[in-house]
Amino acid sequence: MTPSALVDPGNAGAQSHRELSGFLFTADLKRRALSTLSKSLLPLLLMTLIMFASLYFPVALVKEKITVAITAALTGAVLLAAVNSQLGGIGYTIAVEYAFYLFFALSLLCIVSVLMAERSRHAKRGATALVIERWTRVAFLLVVAITMAGGVGLAYQSG
């Protein structure tokens, strides 16, 4: 251990402590949450509308219905990664992630419902397939409406 004059002035024969200059700077940055979120979530909303529209495709376009849902889910994953890298560790990123997870659940709902309806048609249960398609549209709209209402409620509460 080497004696230091910084800790004990007696080691260097000095009579007083040595003071080092320092500078402390603090800055608070604020971001307009609503405009940032609207720019980040607008593509997600557009993809949600495209997915919903695909639920009205005719029966002959089963493959296209599934392709739209899978493409939307993959695009959503890329958007989620981009949003997370842009926004960083701020408070409302958790709410944004929940919106993306609900979007992924809607993608899965579309895929499963199309497969179930198609399986019903192959089993000669056309009425069951129509019921599945109708209830999928209703469930889709309910999830979107509840998610948007929750998002508006959070935005109103926080700001």
pLDDT digits (tens, 9 = 90+) for 96-113: 888 899 999 999 999 999
CATH 2.40.110.10 fits 32-158, yes or no: no
Lowest mean pLDDT among 8-22, 109-123, 142-156: 8-22
Give the start-to-end residue ranges of the domains of the chain. Answer: 32-158
Alpha-carbon distances, residue 28 vs 17, 35, 135 (angstroms): 34, 19, 48
Q: CA-CA distance, 115 to 69, in Å (whole number)?
A: 12
Query: pTM here?
Result: 0.73
Q: What is the pLDDT of residues 83-98, one digit of tens each?
A: 777 766 555 667 788 8
CA distance 11 to 5: 5
